[in-house]
Structure 1
Amino acid sequence: MAQAKEFYIHGLGCELGRESRLALILNFFGHQVVTHFTPDLPPPQKGIYPRHFGLIFTTLEDWQRILARAKSQGLNFYEPEKLRFPGLITEHRTFFLADPFHNLIEFKFYSHPEAIFGGRELAQVGDR
């Protein structure tokens, strides 16, 4: 649990909610994330699929702020920041962090907010 606290609270700046010997509840940028202790870690996966979760920021400034914090805290970047799908409705900035338990976390900012849940006529989802 100490590693989880170091990464999520000290590294990312999440707030601690309730905790027990085997679990932590975190305020993950306004969303509840619960971490659970497990004695056996899953092996790291190759690539971002299928196992990752993410957070969408509604302002570029907020996305840049968490990017700067992750860099200044020396967090483990699984994929550095990049601009995906430039010029398309789905254009977005993204980066991935890997926590100490091999969970991949994506941080996104969409240039066009309507692309977050819209654009259903577009077939492309992800890189596969």
Structure 2
Amino acid sequence: MNVQPFHLAIPVFDVPLARAFYRDVFGLEEGRSAEAWVDFNFFGHQLVIHHHPKMPYQQAAGTNSVDGHDVPVPHFGVVLTWEQWEALATRLKAANTEFIIEPYIRFKGQVGEQATMFFLDPCGNALEFKAFKDMSQLFAK
């Protein structure tokens, strides 16, 4: 699968706090920056944190039920390799990350079986990271 990198800009109400989270907890490489924004290499994609007052969804996200869990909406993240996902889960646990949905296997034994986890950045943006042992299942019905 040949995928072009995406660009995603998200609001953060505390740039230094969010910068430390994405740089230190994730270990992301920092790119260009200014006082009000920072670029990150987000697993080969461009994530930009931009200073902005707190948004309503950053205080109390809505949810949808998926596989018996309340999934926060909106959310974003990356589909990683299985090994990357396991390493990230280990890294986040070691950093005492508070998970919305602890790392687990969703749709076990079904079409689309995947590893997934959900958590918030320090500014209330919900993130999901997932992995498939069989990437052909990414869009399977």
TM band (smaller chain): 0.7 to 0.9
Conservation of the 8 A alpha-carbon contact between 2:21 and 2:121: yes
After the TM superposition, list the runs of 4 or more consecutive aligned residues in structure 1 that deviate by more than 6 angstroms.
none
Deviation at 1:54, TM superposition (A): 1.6
**Alpha-carbon RMSD:** 1.4
Determine the C-alpha separation between the residues in 2 that align with 1:76 and 1:50.
17
Cross-structure match for 1:50: 73
Provide the secondary structure at the position in 2 that maps to 1:54: coil
Question: Equivalent of 1:2, from 3, 8, 16?
Answer: 16
Cross-structure match for 1:71: 93
TM-score, structure 2 normalization = 0.77
Cross-structure match for 1:126: none
Cross-structure match for 1:101: 123
Answer 1 or 2: which has greater strand percent: 2
AA paired with 2:37? A
How many equivalent pairs are there? 118
Deviation at 1:88, TM superposition (A): 1.6
Instruction: Give the percent of matched residue pairs that are identical in Structure 1 and Structure 2.
Output: 33
CA 1:40–1:57 in 2, change beyond 3 Å: closer, same or farther? closer
